[in-house]
Amino acid sequence: MTAPLIAIVGSYTVTRTYDPPLLHDAATVKQAAEDLGRELAKLGYNIMVYSSDPTYIEADVVRGYILSGEAKPGSIQVRYPQVVAGKNPPSFPEQTTHGNVFDPVSDVHPTWQVSFYKSLKDANGIVVLGGANSALITGLIAQMNRTPLISIATFGGSAQVLWAMSVGGLANDSERKLMNLPGWSSDSALKLVGVLSSQRERLFAEELGLKRAAQLEERRSRIQSLIAGTLFIAAIVLTLLGTFSPPTSPRIFGLLFFGTPLFAGAAGGIARNIYDSSYRGLTYGTTHSTFKVVLLGMIAGFIAAILFVLAQWASNPEIKNLGQTVPVGLNLLIPFELLVGAIAGLTLESVFANLVTTNVLNVSAVANKGP
């Protein structure tokens, strides 16, 4: 398994203007960067660096990383833009004695900004110390992408701005406090690298939770699809039996007649739930439970179908004579019940909305008279 890759970003140049200004002396910063490199190596992290210029923190981090004695072959990835005439790739002093530890990676683009920002997508974590504009943008990208980040505000620069903006991010309050201690101690690097590890574990737990939720949603969708298909097939079977079977007793016919819209409405309700989840982007937990959808679908399908049948009943006197036999023509209404019930289930929220707003008893005339 490939070790996590941590991007090292920042600078500390006394002759350069920083906003906010730099804090502490250069010797303390160099020691801090070296300590960070040592602890990153001890905990098995690979690092990604960009410049061997001593004004950037990479040179000191690399030195500490090598001095740890834990550096593995290819564990220091050196990113740089396409080499053009008059320019050379970064060259660290340690490459002469530990060449196998370094892994130079040239970008296809000759502009360093393009090469630099493109590389951040490969980082599993980012360390920012000091720094100016590029460090600030790097930290903002990390926060937007929820990349584990330790912005060491202790030494000022853009890292201090990023720390102030990190409220609500992956780091908790106690971890943020460690990034903004007034001074640097012998165990500061160990604690800060531990913060990076904690953020990665927290992010992994979140991703695992999302993956499990997606798996539950997929399983739930498969079960609902099976139930919806079974209910709809049952509704079709009842429709065929009620429509084309020889005349039966009114009781048996009644089961077919009233069962069709119940099954069709339940199937339509679940189908709507599947559609909302799979195609409208409603996530797990926002849609109704299967039991509720089946119940509401059955009610919606039954009521809509009965309203349709009553309208036909009122206009067709031949199907009114219920006795010992099933009236001729009543069975022809069952296919329509199938369609009406299924549509009612698919649009059950509209069905119930119309029912709630329907005035069954019109009392407007009485209300207008007053006392």
Predicted confidence (pLDDT) per residue in 329-371, tens digit: 778 888 999 999 999 888 877 777 777 776 555 545 544 555 5
Q: E strands of the chain, at which residues?
A: 5-11, 46-49, 76-80, 102-106, 125-130, 149-152
- DSSP states along 51-98: ---TTBTHHHHHHHHHHTT---TT-EEEEEPPP-TT------GGGGT-
Q: How far apart are CA 26 and CA 319, in angstroms?
A: 98
Looking at every residue in the chain, the average pLDDT score rounds to: 87
- What does the angle CA 47 – CA 52 – CA 54 come to, to the nearest 5 degrees? 115
Sole residue written with tokens 């009122």: 314
Checking if the pLDDT of 91 tops 70, the result is yes
**Mean pLDDT value across residues 318-335:** 70
Residue 358 burial class via C-beta count within 10 angstroms: exposed 0-12, middle 13-18, buried 19 and up: exposed
Predicted confidence (pLDDT) per residue in 188-246, tens digit: 999 999 999 999 999 999 999 989 988 888 888 889 899 999 999 999 999 999 888 87
| Domains annotated on the chain, with CATH | 5-186 (3.40.50.450), 211-369 (no CATH)
- DSSP states along 174-200: HHHHHHT-SS--TTHHHHHHHHHHHHH
Query: What DSSP state is assigned to residue 124?
Result: S
Q: How far apart are CA 12 and CA 157, in angstroms?
A: 8
Predicted confidence (pLDDT) per residue in 274-290, tens digit: 888 777 766 545 456 78
Which tokens sit at 193? 């690298």
